[in-house]
Amino acid sequence: KANVDDRMKIIELGESLDAPVRIDTYMYPSVRERNHAYNNQARLDPEMAAKARVEVLQREMGEEVFAQYRKIQLDEAENTPE
């Protein structure tokens, strides 16, 4: 949670150094936090994790490729049998 707003800066730094960067937006607690109360864990809640993931993918892919990716994902979700 503490550095969720730094993700775009991290990507920009990687680009400026021509270094690959992979931003993980998973929401699972780290091993060292599993016994802490939920509010004391550093993980993101599901909505924040999803929003961060979409923003990172959009930045990494660019608008055109991301639009295609989004369409494919929505088509799959809408046409997946329950």
Measured in whole angstroms, how far is the alpha carbon of residue 46 from the centre of its chain?
11
Model's pTM, two decimal places?
Answer: 0.62
Under the banding of pLDDT at 50, 70 and 90, the label for residue 63 is: very high
Task: Give the orientation angle of helix 46-61 with respect to helix 7-16, to 10 degrees.
Answer: 20
- Residue (of 69, 47, 56) closest to 8 by Cα position: 56
Q: Does residue 42 surpass a pLDDT of 70? A: no
Higher pLDDT pick, 52 / 44: 52
